[in-house]
Amino acid sequence: MRMYDLILKKRNGAELEAEELKWFADGCAGGTIPDYQISAMLMAVYFQGMSDREITEFTVAMADSGDRVDLSSITGVKVDKHSTGGVGDKTTVVAMPIAAACGLKVAKMSGRGLGYTGGTVDKLESIPGFKTSLSAEEFLKNVEQVGICVTGQSGNLAPADKKLYALRDVTATIDSLPLIASSIMSKKLAAGADVILLDVKYGSGSLMGSKEMAEKLAEEMVSIGELAGRKTAALLTNMDIPLGNNIGNSLEIAEAVQTLRGQGPSDLLEVSLDIAAGLLHMSGAGDWKKCRETAVNTVKTGAALEKLCQMVERQGGDVRYIDEPSLFESAAYCEPVLSPCDGYIWHMDTDEIGMISVSLGAGREVADEKIDHSAGIVICRKTGDAVKAGEAVAYLHTNCSEVLDQAKSRYERALTFARERPEKEPLIYAYITKEGVKYR
């Protein structure tokens, strides 16, 4: 096979065959196709798209380009979730201990943050001692014995995606539905869970932007998962407003703990309960209402918080920080952003707020950049909230005093104010399964 012929075929709008897609995926993983030809193919896919058949076959080829995690030795239903990324999205740290406390086996490999979306691995690493790099044996043992393990991705999980994602990042081909769907699902299939729940975000702090595009992406990923023999569903959730009040790594862990104590923000709790209930429902534990009640009970009884503590302890983390999140080191500077007027917050430019938190040190603009676990933003007023002139709408936390002035004026510009309260948007817009879309 010649890469030139495959690029030409796709550029002219034809469909690639299974063996061609596999050859391409293996060539990306094995380093036998030069970057300029991979980039040309990415651009051809960006403009010509892929059929459903091509997307599924390409996803499976990418999943097969490296190791697949074998969870068959673990008893019970093995579950996983994936969020398409958002600002302040710490649902994994809340929803997955709830799911584990309900008896599911949570086997989750998470990523690091890049750009405005945070990564679960970075958040967990803000707990002193917490290890996110485990051997395959440790990972399997923890899932079996504790019921939950959240680690970084193993080095050889879908290596074709690693290559493609790095090139997409520099060739303006990130926002392509077939490329996003195959990228996410190749890693989920390789990670081995029986049940996969996707949290697909829409709104100004999301990858897809509109509800319509998010719905299309969700349907595509559900179809890939089901065709590959995994029980797969998606929730479409609102990322037009940051989730919860805290953005930044240790700030988000503290908020997740507060939420598992039943004292956190209601939006974070609601989305997390629905994710846990969805996983239970998909695992055959009964109807949605019953599953949700089971999930709620684990928060009420403290069982979910106890699961988080067990996970942290088993992975080497200092549990005192979960018992007492005020132990987390604070950033040297904490400055308020003040409301310029009386009225209501009409809109928040959520991806800009995510980027402001990156500028404060909480995230990275390029892979491998160091991050500051104590930096971030604590939001006091969100879309729909009433404000008074001069009161704080947020506090910016950083160890880098030079970035503060600019971050403050950027935050002010990221908010729009109005005299009336805007209409409330639903937090969870739809539930998507292979049977179709159920709007909430």
- For ligand URA, the binding residues (CB under 6 A) are 84-85, 165, 179-180, 183-184, 207
DSSP assignment of 52-69:
HHHHHHHHHHHHTTSB--
Q: H or E stretch including 246?
A: strand 246-247
Name the β-bridge partners of 210.
Answer: none
Nearer to ligand URA, 181 or 379 (CB): 181
Q: Which residues participate in catalysis according to the annotation? A: 82, 161, 168, 183, 187
Rounded least distance, CB 161 to ligand URA, Å? 7
CA distance 390 to 103: 48
CB of 376 to ligand URA, least distance (A): 21
Q: Which residue's CB is nearer to ligand URA, number 165 or number 395? A: 165
Distance separating alpha carbons of residues 196 and 187, to the nearest angstrom: 11
Taking the complex as a whole, how short is the minimal distance between the CB of residue 89 and ligand URA, in angstroms? Answer: 12
For residues 347 and 240, give the distance between their C-alpha atoms in angstroms, rounded to a whole number: 8
To ligand URA, the closest distance from the beta carbon of 217 in angstroms equals 9
Q: How far is the CB of 7 from ligand URA (least distance, A)?
A: 20
Instruction: State the nearest-atom distance from the C-beta of 315 to ligand URA, in Å.
Output: 23
Q: Tell the smallest beta-carbon distance from residue 264 to ligand URA (Å).
A: 26
Phi-psi region of 148 (alpha: psi -120 to 50; beta: other; left: phi over 0): beta
Q: Which long-range CB contacts under 8 A does 42-45 form with residues at least 24 apart?
A: 42/164, 42/167, 42/168, 42/171, 42/173, 42/176, 42/179, 43/171, 43/173, 44/7, 44/10, 44/11, 45/10, 45/173, 45/176, 45/178, 45/179
Q: What is the C-alpha separation between 187 and 23, in angstroms, rounded?
A: 18
Query: Shortest approach of ligand URA to residue 117 CB, angstroms?
Result: 8
Neighbours of 353 (CB within 10 A): 24
Q: Are the C-beta atoms of residues 345 and 400 closer than 8 Å to each other?
A: no
- 207 or 253, CB closer to ligand URA? 207
Which is closer to ligand URA, CB of 85 or CB of 244? 85
**Residue 85 or residue 325: which is nearer to ligand URA going by CB?**
85
- 343 - beta bridge partners? 387
Amino acid at the residue 311: M
- With respect to ligand URA, which residue has the nearer C-beta, 180 or 309? 180
Q: How far is the CB of 165 from ligand URA (least distance, A)?
A: 6
Closer by beta carbon to ligand URA, 207 or else 430: 207
Calculate the alpha carbon distances from 384 to 104, 142, 431 in Å: 36, 42, 25
Measured between alpha carbons, how far is 249 from 256 in angstroms, rounded to an integer? Answer: 11
Considering beta carbons, is residue 42 or 273 the nearer one to ligand URA? 42
- The residue number whose beta carbon is nearest to ligand URA equals 183
- Closer CB to ligand URA, residue 201 or residue 281? 201
> How far is 122 from 152, CA to CA, in rounded Å?
9
CA atoms within 13 A on the CB side of 415: 28
The number of beta carbons lying within 10 Å of the beta carbon of residue 335 is: 18
Cα separation, 387 vs 418, whole angstroms: 10
Q: Element (H or E) spanning 231, and its range?
A: strand 231-238
Question: If DSSP codes are grouped into helix, strand and coil, which group holds residue 123?
Answer: helix
DSSP tag of 281: H
